[in-house]
């Protein structure tokens, strides 16, 4: 955003200082705590009331508007945080990071602001991006409103294909009731700067619709902020490209188009459903319950706000809306070993024969991995005895949204001793046996980004080891099967190709072992061919 005639440095409201009754000082870890619902509302109210920003509600209305997309904590700079944590310096100013879509101006863009001080914001400043350049409006993340308009544009554009779709799939877009088609979009949305055109994979809307492509993929250009100017640029159907909806519809009407007819989905035990099938062969008529985790003497960890303590461990944590779980001020035995450990990005690159498959290169932070942390199920996602924590996000919404049970904490028997030794006397007896139980504390959340469910864990071990772990589950990202597609994946069902792909998971690791002035290096091992000093002639 560019504000002509107004300095970026200041948009100040004078607020009266108030003094309240003395209270216990907040935990130092709270400088890293996520914004509370009250703070999120305060930031939104402050920005909405600034006339120079001209903000409109996020939901509804046109795309060509100024709207608040995201509000989350802006962590303090490390030097300020350490001055406070280590040397008793002033508490860092608490600020929010706000992402605004400026679509209602001559040069639409995406702008980031720092807003503070919290809890009563009175000013904002511009957070520059790459030498002061603005993020172009066409590069913004998708919003709920744009998806609504995308669906409307797709349904209208594909109306001439309704006979084809009904005949081939038994499903449609028009007056479809319980037999509707839907779509999944892929990214990036173009092949170069300035483009915003998405390949949309048409799918039957049944449980696990990710595994039910209809054989049709549509390239829809939606760069213009006015949806009336959006247009279908290309189509792909069962291995063939078409330049327009009309061309494909006429080919079908003439009987010149071989149809990829899909079988009728069963009403029960659809292969893509999560309906349990089969039974655990335990040899008994009634299936016994599986193992359960218990804490016979209660929890051995301590949660105080966003501070977590376990054994010799102490750390602060937050669930960042944009990217996910972050740890700060990680200490073992009272000594800081890391200033920050955090999830940054999850990337997936795909190959395929269809245009959507070959175009797919997901960067999942663009779908706000932290704000995709939906409710964890006790006994499945986390043990029933775990501590569950809620999260609050303000993302593409007109107020904070509560995400129940977004995180959990639990102690886990690892099933492997932390260390053990059986000291044999080599005469059928032993001198001693010693062992330590293997246990770890787990801090967990999930991110459901379209088809994938990422399970993010940080594990704390009593011997000073910290492990980061991610599990990928959910559904595969799949496309319509064609014989040519076999070069780029495996046929996993009659009309389904599991596309070849690779995952890259990125973490930020800021180690403070022995202080913040340390360095990092890697060492390689090489073979050295030397004379054997105790056996002449041998090497």
Query: Which of 397, 409, 393 minimizes the C-alpha distance to 458?
Result: 409
Numbers of helices and strands, H then E, in the chain: 6, 27
Residue 42 phi, psi dihedral angles, 5° rounding: -65, -40
Rounded Cα distance, 479 and 498, in Å: 7
| Catalytic member of 301, 310, 350, 452 | 452
String of b and e for 302-335 (b: at least 16 CB within 10 Å)? eeeebbbbbbebbbbbbbbbbbbbbbbbbbbeee
Rounded Cα distance, 175 and 178, in Å: 9
| Catalytic member of 34, 185, 238, 364 | 364
Task: Give yes or no: 452 in active site.
Answer: yes
Alpha helices by DSSP H, 88-190 = 144-157, 162-169
Note the residue count of the chain.
539
Rounded Cα distance, 179 and 192, in Å: 37
Rounded Cα distance, 193 and 64, in Å: 20
Q: How many CB atoms lie within 10 A of CB 194?
A: 9
Rounded Cα distance, 494 and 478, in Å: 12
Are 403 and 389 contacting, i.e. CB atoms less than 8 angstroms apart?
A: no
Query: Which of 10, 5, 3 minimizes the C-alpha distance to 124?
Result: 10
Rounded Cα distance, 406 and 387, in Å: 11
Q: How many CB atoms lie within 10 A of CB 466?
A: 17
Indicate the SS3 state at residue 14.
coil
Task: Give yes or no: 364 in active site.
Answer: yes
Q: Which residues are catalytic?
A: 364, 452
């Amino acid at each position: 955003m560019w504000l002509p005639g107004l300095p970026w440095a200041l948009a100040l409201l004078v607020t009266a200082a108030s003094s309240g009754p003395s209270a216990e000082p907040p935990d130092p870890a709270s400088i890293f705590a996520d914004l509370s619902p009250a703070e999120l509302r305060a930031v939104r109210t402050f920005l909405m009331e600034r006339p120079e920003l001209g903000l409109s509600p996020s939901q509804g209305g046109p795309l060509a508007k100024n709207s608040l997309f995201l509000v989350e904590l802006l962590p303090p700079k490390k030097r300020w945080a350490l001055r406070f944590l280590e040397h008793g310096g002033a508490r860092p100013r608490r600020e929010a990071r706000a992402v605004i879509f400026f679509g209602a101006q001559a040069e639409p863009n995406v702008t980031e602001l720092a807003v503070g001080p919290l809890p009563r914001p009175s000013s904002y400043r511009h957070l520059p991006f790459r030498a002061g350049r603005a993020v172009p409006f066409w590069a913004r993340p998708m919003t709920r409103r744009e998806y609504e308009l995308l669906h409307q544009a797709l349904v209208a554009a594909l109306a001439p294909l309704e006979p084809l779709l009904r005949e081939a799939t038994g499903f449609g877009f028009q007056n479809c009731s319980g037999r509707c088609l839907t779509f999944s979009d892929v990214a990036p949305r173009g092949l170069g700067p300035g483009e915003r055109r998405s390949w949309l994979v048409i799918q039957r809307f049944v449980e696990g619709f990710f595994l039910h492509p209809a054989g049709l993929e549509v390239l829809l250009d939606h760069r213009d902020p006015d949806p009336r100017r959006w247009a279908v640029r290309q189509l792909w159907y069962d291995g063939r490209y078409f330049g327009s909806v009309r061309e494909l519809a006429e080919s079908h009407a003439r009987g010149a188009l071989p149809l990829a007819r899909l079988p009728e989905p069963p009403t029960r035990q659809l292969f893509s459903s999560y309906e349990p099938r089969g039974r655990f062969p335990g040899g008994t008529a009634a299936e016994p319950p599986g193992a359960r985790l218990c804490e016979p003497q209660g929890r051995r960890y301590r949660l105080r706000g966003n501070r977590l303590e376990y054994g010799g461990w102490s750390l602060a944590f937050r669930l960042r809306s944009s990217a996910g779980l972050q740890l700060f001020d990680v200490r073992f035995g009272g000594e800081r070993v890391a200033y920050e450990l955090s999830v940054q990005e999850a990337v997936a690159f795909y190959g395929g024969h269809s245009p959507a498959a070959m175009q797919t290169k997901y960067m999942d932070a663009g779908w706000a991995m932290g704000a995709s942390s939906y409710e964890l199920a006790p006994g499945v996602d986390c043990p029933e005895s775990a501590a569950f924590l809620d999260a609050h996000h303000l993302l593409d919404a007109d107020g904070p949204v509560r995400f129940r049970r977004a995180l959990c904490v639990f102690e886990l028997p690892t099933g492997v001793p932390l260390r053990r030794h059986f000291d044999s006397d080599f005469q059928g007896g032993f001198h001693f046996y010693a062992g330590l139980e293997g246990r770890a504390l787990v801090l967990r959340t999930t991110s459901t980004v379209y088809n994938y469910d990422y399970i993010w864990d940080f594990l704390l071990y009593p011997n000073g080891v910290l492990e980061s772990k991610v599990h990928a589950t959910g559904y595969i990202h799949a496309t319509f099967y064609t014989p040519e597609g076999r070069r780029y994946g495996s046929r996993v069902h009659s009309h389904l190709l599991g596309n070849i792909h690779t995952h890259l998971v990125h973490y930020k690791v800021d180690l403070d072992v022995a202080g913040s002035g340390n360095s990092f290096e890697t060492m390689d091992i090489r073979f050295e061919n030397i004379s054997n000093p105790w056996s002449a002639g041998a090497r």
